[in-house]
Structure 1
Amino acid sequence: MPELPDLQVFSKNLMKRTAHRKIVSADVFNVSRLNVDGETVRTKLLETRITDIVRKGKELHFQLENNEVFSVHLMLSGRFHICAPEEVSGIPYKLLSVGFEEDEALVISDFQGMCKVTFNPVPTNTPDALGEAFTLAYLQNAVRRNQRKNIKAFLIDQSIVKGIGNAYADEILWKANISPKSTAGKIPEDRLTALYTAISDVLKDAIANIERISPDIISGEERSFLRVHNSRKTYTDEGDRILIQKIAAKTTYYTERQQLFL
């Protein structure tokens, strides 16, 4: 599943390829994954332009010249494609295609059929993990409200903080030296401060690494640089064995060195 760093890079690269180009066609292939019908999609998209693509949590929001917005949540296996119009028919499991002047199209697909496209999504007050509203005080207060919650479950709960998924929760907890088995309310204040710092550091470093390794990426995942949540590694660079276990209903990578707070 693409997570916050992946999506941040996707948004930048999709802007380069699609922004400010007139939309000349729009076709819906799986209306069940949209909140409007095909005719409404065409009414909203045709003859306008994408003016901005903004990541909000695990979604990309496409802002249009006519003040409409549509969001895309790729879920586990959704993908963006940019191709020639004659290549659109060859892309399997399509949800939506948007054709631009100068003979290119943006296609959204998902072989699992879980990806969601939402026109004019309702805003929420939940802060983004890299947003200004996500402060240390917010994190501390959220922990107080969820004292009994497992810390990994806490980090990936999109109603608490937007954008952190399974892989980066593991990386953040490893960076903060907190076991993913810990109970949120048992983590002392100094370790919560370390956790808050790790969230920003890990996510920003990941964005930089993805841009370095896969500068033109618009789909998939670039995870080769991950320190602990990495199926290619048996040990961390520090020599600690990487353990794999189901925690918070997710396949979790961690080490025994990480401190446990119960």
Structure 2
Amino acid sequence: MPEMPEVESLRRFLAERCVGKVYARLELASFTALKTFEVPLTGLAGLEITEVVRRGKFLALGSDGLWLAFHLARAGWLRWKDKVAATPARPGKGPLALRVAFDDGSGFELTEAGTQRKLAIHVVRELADVEQIATLGPDPLSDDFTLAAFTQILTNAGRAQLKGVLRDQRTIAGIGNAYSDEILHAAKLSPFKPANGLTDDQVATLYAALRAELGEAIARSEGLAAKDLKGEKKSGLRVHARAGEACPVCGGTIAQVSFADSSLQYCPGCQTGGKPLADRRLSKLLK
């Protein structure tokens, strides 16, 4: 799933290529992807793109009083095209969800792999008209996301587990499964530790790790083409999706906890005092 660093890199990529261009064609290939109907996709045709912004994991292209906003979900991606295909998109065929062509012939496609269709496209007059955007928490790299603000977030979360707090988009916008694993590893904290159970030093360490991990991920992606961002993300991860490999910090074996539709990875040596966390899925099988 693209998370804040990849989405921010896509924003910069699109801003360089889209601002000043005019929508020529918008072709919907997956009708389930379009979540709004008050303003049709065709309402964007002929409008000039004036800005590209990010809200959490959402990207949005702004025009004259309208926004094209989209969330790539778990299996979605954006493919840039220097020359968009002239043949009309065929609904229901393959991974294509939306094709956008500009007045100079360039454009992009939104695609989604797999059978679960969760990619979301919105055409709205205000970004706040998208409920998931309106309810987003603060951006963790914004200037007002201070240590004091972060401390208050953890206090308000009570005994909720750190992993879940970091991933809750209503609490902090943009962090997903992968970077929450990386942040907690860098801070040497268990993903299951209660949010209100940290010392002041641990809160400061977690705050610094959060800002550093996200900032460094964005820096690594600077200047990369959209097609290269997935590979860069994978190569930069130390623990996420690396169960069974050696921890690059302590040399111990990276472990995993599995859930119904996801998993987390962590280093017992760095994060839990050498103790393995209970694998919820395996525990159920053994009962």
TM-score by length of 1: 0.88
Q: Residue 74 of structure 2 corresponds to which residue in structure 1?
A: 76
1:114 aligned to 2:131? Answer: no
Q: Distance in 1 between matches of 2:259 and 2:152?
A: 23
Q: Residue 135 of structure 1 corresponds to which residue in structure 2?
A: 146
Q: Residue 217 of structure 1 corresponds to which residue in structure 2?
A: 226
Indicate the structure whose relative CO is greater, using CA pairs within 8 Å and at least 6 residues apart: 1
List, as ranges, runs of 4+ consecutive aligned residues in structure 1 with deviation greater than 6 Å. Answer: none
Q: Say which of 189, 198, 201 aligns to 2:209.
A: 198
Q: Residue 158 of structure 1 corresponds to which residue in structure 2?
A: 169
1:242 aligned to 2:242? Answer: no
- Residue type of the partner of 2:211? S
Q: Aligned-pair distance for 1:126?
A: 1.8
- Residue type of the partner of 2:117? G
Q: Distance in 2 between matches of 1:208 and 1:220?
A: 12
* Sequence identity percentage: 26
- Residue type of the partner of 1:114? K
Note the residue ranges of structure 1 that are not aligned, 5 or more in a row: none
Aligned length: 257
- Residue type of the partner of 1:80? L
Q: Aligned-pair distance for 1:85?
A: 2.4
Is the 2:78–2:109 contact (alpha carbons within 8 Å) kept by the matching residues of 1?
yes
Give the SS at the match of 1:175: helix
User: 1:89–1:38: structure 2 CA closer, same or farther, 3 Å change rule?
Assistant: farther
Q: Distance in 2 between matches of 1:153 and 1:177?
A: 16
TM-score by length of 2: 0.81
Q: Distance in 1 between matches of 2:206 and 2:176?
A: 15
Is the 2:61–2:69 contact (alpha carbons within 8 Å) kept by the matching residues of 1?
yes
Q: Aligned-pair distance for 1:241?
A: 1.8
Q: Distance in 1 between matches of 2:95 and 2:39?
A: 20
Is the 1:28–1:38 contact (alpha carbons within 8 Å) kept by the matching residues of 2?
no
Q: Residue 14 of structure 2 corresponds to which residue in structure 1?
A: 14
- Residue type of the partner of 1:223? K
Post-superposition Cα deviations, 1:106-136, rounded to whole Å, max 9, x if no partner, equal 2212133210012233234620121223221
Post-superposition Cα deviations, 1:64-87, rounded to whole Å, max 9, x if no partner, equal 1x1311211000111112232236
Give the SS at the match of 2:256: strand
- Residue type of the partner of 1:95? A
Q: Aligned-pair distance for 1:259?
A: 4.4
Q: Aligned-pair distance for 1:250?
A: 3.9
- Residue type of the partner of 2:161? N
Note the residue ranges of structure 2 that are not aligned, 5 or more in a row: 129-133, 274-287
